Amino acid sequence: MSAVVVGHKNPDTDSCASAIAAADLMSKRGLAAEPFVQGKIAPETAFVLERFGFMPPESITSVARKKVILVDHSDRAQAPADIDEAELLGIIDHHKLGDITTSVPLFFHALPVGCSCTVIKNLYDFYSVEIPRNIAGIMLCAILSDTLIFKSPTTTDEDRKAVAALAALAGVRDYAALGMEIFTVKSAVKGVPARELLFRDYKDFEMAGKKVGVGQLEVVDIKLLDSVKKDLITAVEAAKLEGRHTVMLLLTDIMAEGSELVVCSEDADLAEKVFGLPGSSPLWLPGVMSRKKDVIPKLEAVFKK
Ligand code: MG
Ligand code: MG
Ligand code: MG
């Protein structure tokens, strides 16, 4: 039985590309492995897969009694529900350390870089395994997506080096143009239900015993969201009523380099405590681009108090 390689819930391009790339690398190193996603892939990811000739990986919800490799997360809230009944072989990630533990040794490859695919690029190099052209293509797209074409504060030199090398392998001459194509696909929100938009790139966290969710929509122009904003606010309020202490939604304008924050919380002053800016939701936050770097640590610090 081959190992399941799977990224987080509400799969993004990195979760999907990392699963495909890690499964390829593991298989070539003698551990049969197959990529999966948890749930439906987003249009951006569908575009990237099609561009480089991949079918979307199958979706998986249960991993009990299976060998599993997790990519792009190590939080139980983002893993398959029965992850504790799986045999966890390893984790490849670029986030804060989550709360998954094991009773047996595992491999753990994590780097504080902009994308899990950057970690996997380094692993291919470390093991001297050649990266197939089409896999290089989707890894390249994942890094461009996760780093907001290098505009995110999560971007490192390792990501830039990986993009240069992967673009050459994939035969992509203008990676910035490819990045803009990806974000243009991501910006097409017309006709999509607000709830689907909220949960497309959404993560729940446990903070001081409370369930706190943060979603993010990254677009090339925040005006593209004007027509759906009212419905997004309603969707955030509805999600909060489903047993969450707080739900935040970041509407990130990658060109203006900031985010509008929609928040609904038990704590009416939470946004001001976290970001130090007075004002009511929705609130413009200049320079806030990254959930991982600009939001979660500050949010956790407030909940710890
Ligand atoms: Mg991800
Ligand atoms: Mg990632
Ligand atoms: Mg992201």
3-state secondary structure of 74: coil
* Ligand 1 centroid, distance to 11 Cα (angstroms): 7
* Ligand 3 centroid, distance to 95 Cα (angstroms): 11
Ligand closest to 12 (CA) is 1
* Ligand 3 centroid, distance to 145 Cα (angstroms): 7
* Helical residues (DSSP H) of 29-173, grouped into ranges: 43-51, 116-126, 133-146, 157-170
Angstrom distance (rounded) from CA 108 to CA 91: 5
- Judge if 220 and 122 occupy the same domain: no
* Ligand 1 centroid, distance to 200 Cα (angstroms): 11
Name the CA radius of gyration of the chain, rounded. Answer: 19
* Ligand 2 centroid, distance to 25 Cα (angstroms): 18
Ligand closest to 111 (CA) is 2
- The tokens describing 61, both together, are 């919800």
- At 278 the pLDDT is 80
Ligand closest to 148 (CA) is 3
* Ligand 2 centroid, distance to 15 Cα (angstroms): 6
Ligand closest to 38 (CA) is 1
- Judge if 149 and 290 occupy the same domain: no
* Helical residues (DSSP H) of 147-193, grouped into ranges: 157-170, 175-186
Ligand closest to 201 (CA) is 3
Domain assignment present for residue 122? The answer is yes
* Ligand 2 centroid, distance to 279 Cα (angstroms): 31
Q: Which residues are in the CB-under-5-Å shell of ion ligand 1?
A: 12, 14-15, 72
* Ligand 1 centroid, distance to 278 Cα (angstroms): 30
- Judge if 32 and 146 occupy the same domain: yes
Angstrom distance (rounded) from CA 206 to CA 213: 9
Angstrom distance (rounded) from CA 184 to CA 221: 9
- Judge if 167 and 22 occupy the same domain: yes
Instruction: Give, in degrees to the nearest 5, the angle at Cα 228 between 234 and 293.
Output: 80
* Ligand 2 centroid, distance to 48 Cα (angstroms): 15
SS3 annotation, 188-203: CCCCCCHHHHHHHCEE
Angstrom distance (rounded) from CA 139 to CA 21: 7
- At 255 the pLDDT is 94
- Judge if 203 and 264 occupy the same domain: yes
- Judge if 135 and 249 occupy the same domain: no
Going from the C-alpha of 105 to that of each of 109, 119, 239, the distances in angstroms are 13, 20, 37
- The pTM of this model reads 0.92
- At 300 the pLDDT is 95
Ligand closest to 115 (CA) is 2
Ligand closest to 95 (CA) is 2
3-state secondary structure of 168: helix
DSSP state of 57: P
Q: How many other C-beta atoms can be found within 10 angstroms of the C-beta atom of residue 221?
A: 14
Domain assignment present for residue 189? The answer is no
* Ligand 3 centroid, distance to 279 Cα (angstroms): 26
- The tokens describing 218, both together, are 């990254």
- At 280 the pLDDT is 76
Cβ partners under 8 Å of residue 198, min gap 6: 215, 232, 235, 236, 239, 249
- At 277 the pLDDT is 84
* Ligand 2 centroid, distance to 14 Cα (angstroms): 5
Angstrom distance (rounded) from CA 94 to CA 117: 9
* Ligand 3 centroid, distance to 104 Cα (angstroms): 31
Cα separation of the two ends of the chain: 47
Domain boundary residue, one of 140, 166, 184: 184
* CATH code where residue 231 lies: 3.10.310.20
Can you give the residue range of the structural domain that contains 262?
A: 194-304
DSSP state of 237: H
pLDDT along the chain (305 residues), means of 10: 96 98 98 97 97 98 97 95 97 95 94 98 98 98 97 96 98 97 93 95 93 96 94 97 97 96 95 87 92 95 92
- At 161 the pLDDT is 98
DSSP-assigned states of every residue in 245-269: SEEEEEEEETTTTEEEEEEEESSTT
Pair 263, 295: CB distance under 8 Å: no
- Judge if 142 and 235 occupy the same domain: no
* Ligand 3 centroid, distance to 69 Cα (angstroms): 20
- At 190 the pLDDT is 87
Ligand closest to 139 (CA) is 2
- Judge if 35 and 116 occupy the same domain: yes
Going from the C-alpha of 225 to that of each of 249, 253, 291, the distances in angstroms are 12, 10, 19
3-state secondary structure of 279: coil
Number of structural domains found in the chain: 2
Going from the C-alpha of 264 to that of each of 91, 147, 209, 233, 249, the distances in angstroms are 33, 27, 18, 8, 9
Domain boundary residue, one of 184, 210, 237: 184
- At 1 the pLDDT is 85
Pair 16, 29: CB distance under 8 Å: no
- Judge if 129 and 217 occupy the same domain: no
Ligand closest to 78 (CA) is 1
Angstrom distance (rounded) from CA 20 to CA 33: 9
